Amino acid sequence: METRKGIPVSPGIAIREAMILDTEEIHIPQRFIESERVEAEAARYEEGVRAAEQSLQREIERMGGDRGINAQILEIHKTLLGDPVLKNEILSLIRQKQYTAEHAVARTMSRYIKKFEVMDSPIIAERVHDLYDIEKLLLSTLLGSRLDTMQELDREVVVIAHNLTPAQAAKLDSKWVRGFAMDVGGKTSHTAIMARALGIPAVVALEEISTAVIAGDTVIIDGFRGLVIVDPDDATLRDYRAREANVHKVARRLRKETTLPSETIDGHRVELQANVELPQEVHAAMALGAAGIGLLRTEFIHFQKPRGGEAWHLQHYQRVLKEVGDRPVTIRTLDLGGDKGLERAEDQREENPFLGCRSIRYCFANPELFREQLRAILRASMFGRVKIMFPMVGSVGDVERAVGFFEQVKEELRQNGEQFDTEIPVGVMVEVPSLAITADQVARHVQFFSIGTNDLVQYTLAVDRGNEHVAALYDPVHPAVLRLLAASLAAGDRAGIEVSICGEMASERLYIPLLIGLGYRRLSVSPPMIPEVRRIVRSIQVYDAVRLAAQCSGLADGMEIAALLRSWARDYLPDTGW
C-alpha cells in the first residue's frame, strides 16, 4: 500500500482499477515484463522499428521522385527512428528496468520532447512535432491490433495520467471513468473541470503518480482530502468502501431534487444556469436541471492541435446547442491570457499578464482570430438560442469596438447570403471595476450583464488569489465588492436588461443568501454545484435575505460581513452534506 498526497480538485471517493494514459490518444496496456522475457521484448522493439521504417520507406516511394518538403520530413523521421543513441536508450530501459517496449518508447520520447520544448532555438524547438509523430508511429506499430484507445473501455476505471490534454478530455468515454489522478495540474486544469462536470473525484499535482501506478492496480482516489492510495490493504479498503457508499447516498438525495423548481420559500424564482466548457459538461448540466448555459467558455477550442479555426468553433457550438435544445446558450468570446496560458515568444512576455493584452484586448490585437469566432457564433445561431458575451471590456469604447467587429462580420455574412439570427442578444462580462462603476452608461449599449466575480474581486482589491502571500486578502464580500455588485444590478434593472452572476461566488453556500438579498435572480454555476445551490435557494425567504443584505451593506469590514453570513447560514441553511 502506498499513499500519495496531491491537490483535491473535485470531491468524491472512487475505488477502481487503474487505467494509465501515457501519451495523447494511445493507452499502453502493460508497462513491465518478467525478467525472462527481456530479450524477447528487446527483439520485439527492434522488429517494431524495422516495420515502422519500412512503412515510412513505402510512403517515400509512393511520392515517386518528389523531393519536396513532405518527402524530406519523412526522411528525417526515418533517420530519427533508427537513431543509434535513441535505440540504445530504449533497449537499456527494456533490459535494465524491465519496461515493455511501448513503455520504454513513451518514457524516452517524453524525455526528449521535454528537452526540445525548452530549446532556445525556435527552429529546433518546432521539431518537437516530429518527435510526437515518430512516437505515435512507433507505438501504434508496436501495439498493432492491441491498440487500445479511450473509446474502447469496457469497464469502470480510474484514469491515471501525467496530464489530460483537452483533446483527450474531449474523447473520453466518460461513462466508464470514475476518477482522475494526475501528475500535474491545478484547480482550473481540464482534469479538474471535467471531473467536476462529471461529478467524480479528482486529485492533481501528485508529481509522479503516473509512474507509481501500474495498469490494473487497485487505486483509491479521495477527492476530499487529496489522497491517492495505491494497492490499499484490507482495513483501508473497508473504510473507504463505507465512505464511498455514504457519498453516493448524499448525491442520490440531491439528484432527486433536480425536477423541483429553483425558487425561494416565498415563491421567488431564481434561475440556475451552468458554466461549462466541454461538451460532456453540457450533458451533466442538463441532467441536473440547468435552465441554460450561462457561460460557455471557448478557450479550449483555441488550444486544439492542430489549431482550431472557424470550423472547430462552429462544430463545438452546434454540439452544445443540440444538447441544450430550446434553452439559451451564452457564448463568451475567447478569454485568453492571464491565467489561461497564451504561448508567447520570449520578447513578448508581459510583466503583468493580468493587466496586459489578454481576453478581448488580445482579440482586438488579433482581428482574424476574433472574426473567425464571431462568424462561427453567427452561423451557430441558426441551431439554437445563442447569446454572445464579450469578456474583460473596461469602457463603453471597448463595447462599441467589440460590437463594431460583430456588426462587420454580420454584414459580411449578409453579403454572402448566409443566414443567422439577426436578433442575437449582445452582453458583456462585468469583471473590470471601471465597467462596474460606469454600469449605468454601459447598460444602454448591451442587452445583458454577467458579473464575473472572480476577476471583479481580484481587480477591485488588487489581489492575485493564486499568490499565496496575498491570497488571504482575496475577499469576495469586501464592502467595495458588495457596492459594485449592488450598483451593477441596479444599473441593469433601470435599463431593463438581464443581470446574472457567473463567478464562483454564485455557487458558494455562504454567499447565495447575500446575492439573493441584493436582488440577484439569475445565477450561473458549475454543473455539479446545481443541486446544492438549488437546495439553498429553496431554503431561503427573500424577506430574510433582503434584511441580511442590508445588514451586510452597513458593515465596513469584510471579516464582520463573513462572520454574519456564517452565523446566518448556521441558522437558516440546510446541511447539504458537502
Partner 1 sequence: MSKELARTIPITHKYGLHARASTVFVQRAQDFASQVYMSRDAGEEVDAKSVLQLLTLGVQQGDQVTLRIIGDDAEQAMDVLSDLIKRDFFGV
Active site residues: 190, 502
Nearer to partner 1, 130 or 310 (CB): 130
Three-state secondary structure readout of 490-545? HHHHHHCCEEEECCHHHHCCCCHHHHHHHCCCEEEECHHHHHHHHHHHCCCCHHHH
72 binds partner 1 (CB under 8 A): yes
Cα 9 versus chain centre, distance: 12
Among 53, 59, 75, 156, binds partner 1 (CB under 8 A): 75
**Which positions from 100 through 129 interact with partner 1, judged by CB under 8 A?**
112, 115-116, 119-121, 123-124, 127
CA distance linking residue 51 with residue 470, whole number of Å: 57
- Coil, strand or helix at 328: strand
Calpha distance 538→448 (Å, rounded):
26
Told to check if 79 binds partner 1 by CB under 8 A, we report yes
Convert residues 507-546 into a mask of x (bound to partner 1 by CB under 8 A) and - (unbound): ----------------------------------------
Q: Rounded to the nearest whole angstrom, what is the least distance from the CB of residue 348 to partner 1 in the complex?
A: 19
Output 52 or 542, the one with its CB closest to partner 1.
Answer: 52
Residue nearer to partner 1 on the CB measure, 107 or 371 = 107
Shortest distance in whole angstroms from residue 58 CB to partner 1: 19
> In the complex, what is the shortest distance from the CB of residue 45 to partner 1, in angstroms, rounded to a whole number?
16
Query: What minimum distance in Å lies between the beta carbon of 56 and partner 1?
Result: 13
Q: Which stretch binds partner 1 (CB under 8 A): 78-86, 314-322, 325-333, 505-513?
A: 78-86
**Among residues 117 and 266, whose Cβ is nearest to partner 1?**
117
**Which residue, 141, 198, 139, 117, is CA-closest to 21?**
139
Q: Residue 130 Cβ, how far from partner 1 at the closest point, in Å?
A: 7
Alpha carbon distance 311, 375 (integer Å):
10
Rounded CA separation 471/542 (Å): 32
Dist. CA 118–CA 133, nearest whole Å: 18
Cβ 85 to partner 1 shortest distance, Å: 4
Binding of partner 1 at residue 290 (CB under 8 A)?
A: no
Among 15, 80, 331, 393, binds partner 1 (CB under 8 A): 80
130 part of the interface to partner 1, by CB under 8 A: yes
Backbone angles phi, psi at 24, to 5 degrees: -50, 120
What residues form DSSP beta bridges with 332?
389
User: 3-state DSSP call for residue 155?
Assistant: coil
Q: How many CB atoms lie within 10 A of CB 32?
A: 13
Contact call for residue 63 and partner 1 (CB under 8 A): no
Alpha carbon 444 to chain centroid distance? 33
Least distance from partner 1 to the Cβ atom of residue 61, Å: 18
Residue of the chain from 7, 51, 71, 76 that contacts partner 1 (CB under 8 A): 76
Instruction: Name which of 124 and 559 has its Cβ closer to partner 1.
Output: 124
Among the listed residues 14, 86, 198, 363, the single contact to partner 1 using CB under 8 A? 86
Residues in 227-256 at the binding interface with partner 1, rule: CB under 8 A = none
C-beta closer to partner 1: residue 85 or 472? 85
Q: Closer CB to partner 1, residue 130 or residue 440?
A: 130
Q: Minimum distance between the CB of residue 78 and partner 1, rounded to whole angstroms?
A: 9
Q: Is 382 among the residues that bind partner 1 (CB under 8 A)?
A: no
From the CB of 65, what's the least distance to partner 1, in Å?
18
C-alpha–C-alpha distance, residues 295 and 387, integer Å: 10
- Which is closer to partner 1, CB of 85 or CB of 235? 85
Closest CA to 519 of 484, 556, 552, 493: 493
Residue 476 has a CB neighbour count (10 Å cut-off) of 25
Closer residue to partner 1, CB minimum distance, 118 or 472: 118
Give whichever of 119 and 462 is closer to partner 1, judged by the CB atom: 119
Number of residues that bind partner 1 (CB under 8 A): 19
Q: Report the alpha-carbon angle 311-385-168, nearest 5.
A: 40
Neighbours of 142 (CB within 10 A): 23
Q: Is 84 an interacting residue with respect to partner 1 (CB under 8 A)?
A: yes
- In the complex, what is the shortest distance from the CB of residue 71 to partner 1, in angstroms, rounded to a whole number? 11
Cα 488 to chain centroid, rounded? 28
Widest Cα–Cα separation across the chain: 82
CA atoms of 466 and 501, how far apart (whole Å): 21
- Contact by Cβ (8 Å): 144, 169: no
Tell me the HSE value of 423 on the side-chain side, using a 13 A CA sphere.
2
Minimum Å gap between C-beta 119 and partner 1 is 5
Residue 405 burial (CB count, 10 A) = 19
Residue among 72 and 419 whose Cβ is closer to partner 1: 72
Cβ-contact 439, 491 below 8 angstroms: yes
The CA angle 460-464-470, to the nearest 5 degrees, is: 105
**Which residue do the cell numbers 446544492 mark?**
532
Q: Report helix, strand and coil shares of the chain as percent, to nearest 5.
A: 55, 15, 30
Region near partner 1 per CB under 8 A, out of 77-85, 417-425, 458-466, 494-502: 77-85
Contact by Cβ (8 Å): 465, 471: yes
Cα–Cα distance, 560 to 161 (Å, whole number): 44
Contact 523, 270 (CB under 8 A): yes
Binding site for partner 1 (CB under 8 A): 72, 75-76, 79-80, 83-86, 112, 115-116, 119-121, 123-124, 127, 130
